[in-house]
Each structure stands twice: as C-alpha cells, then as structure tokens.
C-alpha cells in the first residue's frame, strides 16, 4: 500500500504561514514607520528642532526639495540631505543640547 502524496497546497502551506508571519511582524510595521517619516519630512519647517541620523541635534534654518540647512550652533550651519533627518528632537535630547 502506497502512502498518499501531499497536495501542492499542503506542500506550500509552511511557506505561506512563514510569509504571513514575516509580513505582520516585519514588513507591515516598516511600511507604517516609512509613511510617518515621509509625513514628518513633508511637514518640516524652519525653526523645528531635529535629530539627524548621525546624532546631531540642530535647528532647521532653511529647506529645499532635497536639502535642509541645519544650524548646529550659533553661526554654524550645515547643508545635508533631507532624508538624513531622523526625526524631531525629543524633550530629553533638547535638555542635553542646552546643558
């Protein structure tokens, strides 16, 4: 007597389950974070306190489509890609800058 061969659906079911888990635990949250980051960069304006991806706390001094001019210290300004702005500076990091 021969054992029954699994159907195509039964063979691919573990892969489908793993993909579903990966989607809900990794892919979907990353998409949400990217939407929030894009919205933050779109609403960025002069005077906002920001933190760059390299860890620099700065104030937005000017904006273009691709670049942002940041004032790191009084009279010290740098121009960097807008995408390098990680997010707003939180209240805790603002206290460190003042101190």
Cα 54–Cα 58–Cα 59 angle in degrees, nearest 5: 145
Q: What is the pLDDT of residue 50?
A: 94
- Report d(CA 54, CA 61) in Å as an integer: 18
> Which pLDDT tens digit goes with each residue over 47-60?
999 999 998 999 99
Give the pair of three-digit tokens for residue 14.
């573990």
Q: What is the pLDDT of residue 5?
A: 85
- Report d(CA 60, CA 91) in Å as an integer: 16
Start-to-end C-alpha separation, the chain: 81
Which of 95, 84, 94, 97 minimizes the C-alpha distance to 41? 84
Q: What is the pLDDT of residue 92?
A: 44
Taking residues 3-11, report their average pLDDT.
85
Question: Which residues face 73 on adjacent strands?
Answer: 76
Q: What is the pLDDT of residue 46?
A: 94
> Which pLDDT tens digit goes with each residue over 54-92?
989 999 999 999 999 999 999 999 999 999 999 998 754
Question: Is residue 79 within 8 Å of 68, Cβ to Cβ?
Answer: yes
- Report d(CA 77, CA 71) in Å as an integer: 4
> Which pLDDT tens digit goes with each residue over 8-49?
888 999 999 999 999 989 989 999 999 999 999 999 999 999
């Amino acid at each position: 007597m021969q054992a029954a061969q699994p159907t195509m659906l039964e063979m691919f079911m573990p892969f489908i389950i793993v993909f579903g888990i990966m989607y809900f635990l990794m892919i979907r949250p990353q998409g949400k974070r990217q939407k929030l980051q894009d919205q933050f960069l779109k609403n960025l304006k002069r005077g906002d306190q920001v933190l760059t991806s390299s860890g620099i706390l700065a104030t937005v001094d000017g904006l273009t489509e691709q670049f942002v001019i940041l004032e790191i210290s009084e009279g010290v300004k740098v121009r960097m890609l807008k995408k390098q702005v990680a997010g707003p500076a939180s209240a805790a990091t603002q206290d460190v800058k003042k101190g």
